[in-house]
Structure 1
Amino acid sequence: MIGYNIIQQYKQKAETERRISVSKQHATITEVDELLLFSTKIPFSKALLLILKNRIRNALYIMINISPTTASYREHFADTEAQIKQIKENYVAPSPSSLQVPPNDKDAMALVQATKKIRAVLRSEHAKQKINTDLFVSENQQLEMMQLKINIEISIKRINDAKGQKQYNTAKQMTDKILKILNNLPNKDSDLEHKQQMLESVKNELSAHLTSAQKIASENQAQEQKDDAKRKDLDRLFADKQKW
């Protein structure tokens, strides 16, 4: 009886571990599938697409080893293998410059988050030695550049919004912050060079607004001081008359 209980406990433990492992691989596949949805918005290189598809393939391989009789795992694995073959033979990567940032903040921020998650996947695959260091560095740099461009587009929109509300000081601070990043960035492409020139022009425009506003404020303050002095003179004059 004791031996039977020990065997049952062992089976239950093994089944629990199996379910946890399968659930973990399912989560990996779901995460990658969600990231692949952004391939229509983020220009994926062939290497990056293969890294993501192979991550799915590896997860399915583990699931098949855990549960060899589950037909759906084998079917999914075969489909993924076929997709990998198709990508290797026919996929033509879009130019990184084809990145299109959505006009609204919510969708743009979703792109930023997706880019961050893809970079996290790259780090994970590199740590597992699934990809070599040169490939990791190259793909990570491309994604980092895309992430920067998305953030710049979001910031430019916010600068324009601040200008529209005549919040010139806020707009100037944001412009200075982006320009500092761009000025310190080596190997800028033509798109970033264009953005830098445009922001320099915006900075000059905002500086002119702030200088003008400061001049008007100073003139108003000087006029108020003159008016205040006149009022005090009148007060003293009438104060003397009240004594008569």
Structure 2
Amino acid sequence: MNIALLVGLIGLLFALIIGYNIIVQYRGRIESAKKQETAKYNAIIETTEELIGNAHQFPFSKELLLCLNQRILDALRAISDLVPNNKSYEQRMINMQSQFDQLQNNYAGGDSTSFKSPTNDQQAINMLKLVKRLREILRAEHKKGRVNTQVFVTENARLETFQIRINIENVIKRSKDAISRGQSGTAKQLLKKGIDALTVKNDSYSNKARTHLESMLDELNNKSKKERDDAITEEEKDDEIDVLFQPKKKW
């Protein structure tokens, strides 16, 4: 066999092997990228479903529920485009669209539930984390153009009010607990922090809450003043008794 032909065939074989490996690696990178993107969208779906699961514990408006459901629907569409052969995502997308339409057309209005004040610090922390996550998602969806500006402004302000309310209601509870334990100094510090936090707020809840906190603080201050006055009066009585019963001088 001609040596040049043999060398050429060997070179061609190597070229085919290298080309095949490049194609395999390229396809591998594409599949890896698809898996990463799918995992990202699945995480979005899971976390959003988790948030919606709190709708019976915390007041969700129709607009907020629509925003969250739309987020899930968009994530399902993205996955369906990435893995068109997976019919399970297509069916989930159909079900989600039906749920979204039902919510949009037949929602009774108002919040999903009434606001419930936190009963302890841990519950307050969990509620604050929930509000923070909801505000972050609302902001992200607005930046993507999926939530119009008017809805964003209204819902963001509403969630901010809940954030303040959770903090203040927890301050009131902790103050009352401190008072019942006789820790008036701790209660005063908590009340002052609450009042300071509400100083820059001018909504209906904040104004009422500030008045309530100030009333509690005034009551504590008056009680402390009375206790001091009573202590002084008692001390003066003791002094008078000491004068009456002190040894008489002999002249």
TM-score (normalised: structure 2): 0.80
Matched, 1:26 2:42: yes
Supply the distance in 1 between the matched residues of 2:86 and 2:214 (Cα, whole angstroms).
Answer: 61
Letter matched to residue 54 of structure 1? Q
Question: Quick check: 1:168–1:206 contact (8 Å CA) kept in 2?
Answer: yes
Question: Quick check: 1:101–1:150 contact (8 Å CA) kept in 2?
Answer: yes
Give the equivalent residue in structure 2 for 1:12.
28
Deviation at 1:124, TM superposition (A): 0.7
Trace 1:25-64 onto structure 2 (pairs within 5 A): 25-64=41-80
Matched, 1:164 2:180: yes
TM superposition outliers: structure 1 runs of 4+ over 4 Å: 212-222
Supply the distance in 2 between the matched residues of 1:36 and 1:93 (Cα, whole angstroms).
Answer: 16
Any stretches of 5+ residues in structure 2 without a counterpart? 1-16, 240-251
Give the equivalent residue in structure 1 for 2:10.
none
Give the equivalent residue in structure 2 for 1:207.
221
Supply the distance in 1 between the matched residues of 2:176 and 2:66 (Cα, whole angstroms).
Answer: 39
Question: Quick check: 1:162–1:170 contact (8 Å CA) kept in 2?
Answer: yes
Give the equivalent residue in structure 1 for 2:244.
none
Query: CA-atom RMSD, angstroms?
Result: 2.4
Deviation at 1:216, TM superposition (A): 6.9
Q: Deviations over 1:79-128 (max 9, x none)?
A: 11011110011112335993112423322321111111000001111111
Match 2:210 to one of 196, 221, 226? 196
Question: Quick check: 1:168–1:209 contact (8 Å CA) kept in 2?
Answer: no
Give the equivalent residue in structure 2 for 1:84.
100
Supply the distance in 2 between the matched residues of 1:214 and 1:12 (Cα, whole angstroms).
Answer: 80
Deviation at 1:53, TM superposition (A): 0.3
Give the equivalent residue in structure 2 for 1:122.
138
Letter matched to residue 201 of structure 1? S
Letter matched to residue 215 of structure 2? S
Matched, 1:178 2:194: yes
Supply the distance in 2 between the matched residues of 1:35 and 1:64 (Cα, whole angstroms).
Answer: 23
Deviation at 1:217, TM superposition (A): 7.5
Supply the distance in 2 between the matched residues of 1:26 and 1:196 (Cα, whole angstroms).
Answer: 43
Deviation at 1:144, TM superposition (A): 0.6
Deviation at 1:38, TM superposition (A): 1.3
TM-score (normalised: structure 1): 0.82
Give the equivalent residue in structure 1 for 2:81.
65
Q: Which structure's CA Rg is the greater one?
A: 2
Count of aligned residue pairs for this structure pair = 222
Supply the distance in 1 between the matched residues of 2:220 and 2:113 (Cα, whole angstroms).
Answer: 29
Question: Quick check: 1:159–1:174 contact (8 Å CA) kept in 2?
Answer: yes
